A and B are shown apart, each in its own frame.
Chain A
Amino acid sequence: MVDDKKISIEDVEHIAELARIEISKEETEKFAGELSDVLGYIGQLKEADTKGVEPVSQVTGLVNVLRDDIAKSSDEDTRKTMIDNFPDKSDDYIKVKQVM
């Protein structure tokens, strides 16, 4: 486990960039303190001995649940509701700003 670590303003800015989320200067300062507190608390996990323990993410024992890959069409009403939700569109297509 990493040592208890204070999260710096630069760390917060880096994380925000990774998460593609804009945060204000006040939020940056606030999160630096709060994330340090939470990570400090979480840090107690390092004392748990996990040598040889297999990590678990699926608790009810399911393995590789597969199904046939068959497309199903939806009704016009469903289609229209989805398209109505597009923030910006051109005909029935989602319109996005230039990538670069």
Chain B
Amino acid sequence: MKLNELNITEACEGLRKKEFSAVELTESYLDRINQTDEKIKSFITVTKDLAIEQAEDADKKIKSGDVDSNPLLGIPCSVKDVINTKGVLTTAASNILKNYIPAYDATLISRLKKDGMVMLGKVNCDAFAHGASTENSDFFTSHNPWDLDRVPGGSSGGSASSVSADQCLYSIGTDTGGSIRQPASFCNLVGLKPTYGRISRYGLISMTSSTDCPSIIAKRVSDVAIVLNKIAGKDERDSTSSKNKVDDYQKFLEDENIRGMKIGIPQEYFVEGLNGEIKKAVENAVAKIESLGAEIVQISLPYTKYAVPTYYIITPSEISSNLARFDGIRFGYSATNDDSIEAKNLSEIYCKSKGKGFGSEAKRRIMLGTYALSSGYYDAYYLKAQKVRALIKKDFDEAFEKVDAIITPTTPSVAFKIGEHSKSPLEMYMEDIFLSAVSLAGLPCVSIPCGFTKPNDGKNEMPIGMQIIGKYFDEKNILRLASVYENNTDWHNIKPGFK
């Protein structure tokens, strides 16, 4: 048995049956990171000592039999570096936070710790989660295990590459406009962005507060359900987190009957620009789901075409406000301590700390947002975007009066080559074309594997993902549909050639 190739359910069972210990399991992942990360480059920080310590604690609990309803006990994971971890370097993959040690844990981390998590380390992403490839990381670019010349997607690219390369069992990332779904699709994984407010944002390094969602990426739908069970729910420290009842997502997967479930197929997501092989793969997947008893309904989401421009007004606007806190006064890089910089007064400390600390994309978004919110332009940009956002939400509200779930491709093309889009910010923004409308509406969605295609400029078959969108707080049914599809197909079992 290869410990690195297990899913959460299998690993949990192995631990309970004492086939291996949590320390052995953890060591096998640490070895794997050691052997592979020079090529994959998932990790910014490997927390080896902490992981072993947490695994030893887990072994003690398992030995004493204190393991009830605790499937994540002793299960090794990675965490995106925009999530605060007490006492552990948290950089947001940015130079400005290169030495930042948080004084507190994000709520989702405290919850996972309570359940006996083993954290192997903090993984790479685009700096402050601004990007779709990890190429905007201030440190390095992560690689896609399916083809090392290609990106793993982003911004949660290190989360995806670490799970895909068997360096951990699951990863916690974030999804603001597609940042967990697109990497999941690029790396043949399951990526869930829950409803806005389903998982507390307390302790995230904020990007776009009105769409930021902690998100989960793993190898199986059931793995994602297990993790969601543990981290979903109201948090007093995040006033936008929801009081709605948290379902037992794992239990819900047991019901495999999708007969009569109505699935909407929005015509606007099957348009020019969508790769033909991806279109075919998603259509085949839809046919499969129909053959399993679901009813397929053609629908229209006409405001989809405005989603990316709306997103790229709202996002930079909120970023320009959220990133204003990195001003060199309370934490992070400061011109105060930089001998190469002369600053006479407070204002110069602000300007020079940000000027040197932020990378290009963060600066670009701060500038764009500052402009969109500035006097004389607010109505034309931000207010207009918030109105179009209302129309995008209305599109979905109306569609969900007729259907139970909506299926689309996750991305218009497979993982692109490193450097292919990095010259043009606008090209990179287009990566979000099928993803940002859902984020603006705040709906739950999951990307799951549904096929492969060999790109013209590539040597390897690359994974294709499809996106299942659900009603507000109806994670249970999209996960159930995803699980039924997974149980009836083999895509998720195919592994990258990378050894």
Render A55-66 as a binary contact track against B, CB cut-off 8 A, 1 for contact: 111111010010
| Closest-CB distance, B210 to chain A (whole angstroms) | 5
Instruction: Contact check, A42 vs B197: say whether CB atoms are below 8 A apart.
Output: no
Does A50 lie at the interface of the complex (its beta carbon under 8 Å from any beta carbon of B)? Answer: yes
Render A10-50 as a binary contact track against B, CB cut-off 8 A, 1 for contact: 01100110111111100100010011011101111110101
| Closest-CB distance, A4 to chain B (whole angstroms) | 12
Instruction: Contact check, A87 vs B337: say whether CB atoms are below 8 A apart.
Output: yes
Does B391 lie at the interface of the complex (its beta carbon under 8 Å from any beta carbon of A)? Answer: yes
Does A88 lie at the interface of the complex (its beta carbon under 8 Å from any beta carbon of B)? Answer: yes
Instruction: Contact check, B240 vs A37: say whether CB atoms are below 8 A apart.
Output: no
Distance A85 CA – B360 CA, assembled complex (angstroms): 25
Residues of chain B in range 332-348 having any CB-CB distance to chain A below 8 Å:
332-334, 336-337, 343-348
User: From DSSP, what is the main secondary structure of chain A's interface residues?
Assistant: loop
Does A71 lie at the interface of the complex (its beta carbon under 8 Å from any beta carbon of B)? Answer: no
Do A35 and B371 contact each other (CB < 8 Å), given the known contacts A53-B391, A81-B101, A97-B343?
yes
Instruction: Contact check, A42 vs B363: say whether CB atoms are below 8 A apart.
Output: no
| Closest-CB distance, A52 to chain B (whole angstroms) | 9
Do A99 and B351 contact each other (CB < 8 Å), given the known contacts A27-B363, A42-B381, A86-B330?
no
Residue of A nearest to B341 (CB): A22
Binds A, one of B74-82, B305-313, B451-459: B305-313
Give chain B residues whose Cβ lies under 8 Å from the Cβ of A42: 309, 312-313, 381
Give chain B residues whose Cβ lies under 8 Å from the Cβ of A27: 360, 363
Residue of A nearest to B99 (CB): A85
Give chain B residues whose Cβ lies under 8 Å from the Cβ of A24: 355
Instruction: Contact check, A16 vs B367: say whether CB atoms are below 8 A apart.
Output: yes
| Closest-CB distance, B363 to chain A (whole angstroms) | 6
Distance A98 CA – B344 CA, assembled complex (angstroms): 8
Residue of A nearest to B373 (CB): A18
Does B388 lie at the interface of the complex (its beta carbon under 8 Å from any beta carbon of A)? Answer: yes
Instruction: Contact check, B196 vs A21: say whether CB atoms are below 8 A apart.
Output: no
Residue of A nearest to B369 (CB): A19
| Number of residues from B at the complex interface, CB < 8 A | 77
Instruction: Contact check, A20 vs B351: say whether CB atoms are below 8 A apart.
Output: yes
Instruction: Contact check, A35 vs B240: say whether CB atoms are below 8 A apart.
Output: no
Instruction: Contact check, A2 vs B377: say whether CB atoms are below 8 A apart.
Output: yes
| Closest-CB distance, A43 to chain B (whole angstroms) | 8
Render B365-382 as a binary contact track against A, CB cut-off 8 A, 1 for contact: 011101100100100110
Distance A62 CA – B329 CA, assembled complex (angstroms): 34
Instruction: Contact check, A35 vs B328: say whether CB atoms are below 8 A apart.
Output: no
Does A90 lie at the interface of the complex (its beta carbon under 8 Å from any beta carbon of B)? Answer: no
Most buried by B among A20, A44, A55, A67: A20
| Closest-CB distance, A73 to chain B (whole angstroms) | 13
Give chain B residues whose Cβ lies under 8 Å from the Cβ of A92: none
Residues of chain A in range 75-100 having any CB-CB distance to chain B below 8 Å:
77-79, 81-82, 84-88, 94, 96-100
Does A54 lie at the interface of the complex (its beta carbon under 8 Å from any beta carbon of B)? Answer: yes
Render B309-333 as a binary contact track against A, CB cut-off 8 A, 1 for contact: 1101100000010001001111111
Does B436 lie at the interface of the complex (its beta carbon under 8 Å from any beta carbon of A)? Answer: no
Instruction: Contact check, A21 vs B331: say whether CB atoms are below 8 A apart.
Output: no
Does B425 lie at the interface of the complex (its beta carbon under 8 Å from any beta carbon of A)? Answer: yes
Distance A79 CA – B103 CA, assembled complex (angstroms): 7
Give chain B residues whose Cβ lies under 8 Å from the Cβ of A53: 387-388, 390-391
Does B493 lie at the interface of the complex (its beta carbon under 8 Å from any beta carbon of A)? Answer: no
Residue of A nearest to B209 (CB): A57
Instruction: Contact check, B370 vs A15: say whether CB atoms are below 8 A apart.
Output: yes
Do A45 and B367 contact each other (CB < 8 Å), given the known contacts A22-B351, A56-B393, A97-B349?
no
Instruction: Contact check, A54 vs B329: say whether CB atoms are below 8 A apart.
Output: no
| Closest-CB distance, A89 to chain B (whole angstroms) | 10
| Closest-CB distance, B461 to chain A (whole angstroms) | 33
Instruction: Contact check, B103 vs A78: say whether CB atoms are below 8 A apart.
Output: yes
Distance A10 CA – B306 CA, assembled complex (angstroms): 29
Instruction: Contact check, B101 vs A38: say whether CB atoms are below 8 A apart.
Output: no
Give chain B residues whose Cβ lies under 8 Å from the Cβ of A59: 196, 210, 393, 440-442
Distance A13 CA – B253 CA, assembled complex (angstroms): 55
Do A45 and B388 contact each other (CB < 8 Å), given the known contacts A60-B442, A87-B337?
yes
In the A-B complex, the 6 residue pairs with the smallest Cβ-Cβ separation, listed nearest first, are: A22-B355, A87-B334, A55-B386, A59-B442, A81-B103, A85-B331
Binding site for A on B (CB under 8 A): 86-87, 100-104, 195-197, 210, 236, 239-240, 242, 303, 306, 309-310, 312-313, 320, 324, 327-334, 336-337, 343-352, 354-356, 358, 360, 363-364, 366-368, 370-371, 374, 377, 380-381, 383-391, 393, 425-426, 429, 440-442, 472-473
Further contacts, 13 of them, CB under 8 A, given A35-B368, A96-B349: A20-B351, A21-B358, A21-B366, A39-B371, A50-B388, A55-B387, A59-B210, A60-B442, A85-B331, A87-B329, A97-B336, A97-B345, A99-B346
Binding site for B on A (CB under 8 A): 1-2, 7, 11-12, 15-16, 18-24, 27, 31, 34-35, 37-39, 41-46, 48, 50, 53-60, 62, 65, 67, 74, 77-79, 81-82, 84-88, 94, 96-100
Please, could you name 11 A-B residue pairs with CB atoms under 8 Å apart, sorted by A?
A20-B354, A23-B355, A27-B363, A31-B364, A45-B306, A45-B313, A45-B384, A56-B389, A59-B196, A60-B442, A97-B344
